């Protein structure tokens, strides 16, 4: 699913088995095509299972020293992705 900063859903792809990786579903989605072509604005956050692209930010493999810009980015990235995973799980269980 693609969600916004206020935890609203922008896009959801259904019909894939639960064992399929999220990145595989996204790679096969119409939303990815639209982002690649620049037809959708903004940036997406993904976990380490996604490839980092010009429109999809993934965590840094080695964030560096505590309180460095890289470390703070990784911390905030993790917090935001965790919120989105929680939202998806709540919606899935409803």
The tens place of each residue's pLDDT in the chain, 94 residues long, gives 888 777 788 888 888 887 888 899 999 999 999 999 999 999 998 888 999 999 999 988 888 898 999 999 989 888 888 887 777 777 666 5
pTM: 0.76
Q: What is the DSSP string of the chain?
A: -EE-TTS-EEE----S-TTS-HHHHHHTSHHHHHHHTT-S-S-EE--TTSPP-SSEE---SS--STTSHHHHHHHHHHHHHHHHHHHHHHHHH-
């Amino acid at each position: 699913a693609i969600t916004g900063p206020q935890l609203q859903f922008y896009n959801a792809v259904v019909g894939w088995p639960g064992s399929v990786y999220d990145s595989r579903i996204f790679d096969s989605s119409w939303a990815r095509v639209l982002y690649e072509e620049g037809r959708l604005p903004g940036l997406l956050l993904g976990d380490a299972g996604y490839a980092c692209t010009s429109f999809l930010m993934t965590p840094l493999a080695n964030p560096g020293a505590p309180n460095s810009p890289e470390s703070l980015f990784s911390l905030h990235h993790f917090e935001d992705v965790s919120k989105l995973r929680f939202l998806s799980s709540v919606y899935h269980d409803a």
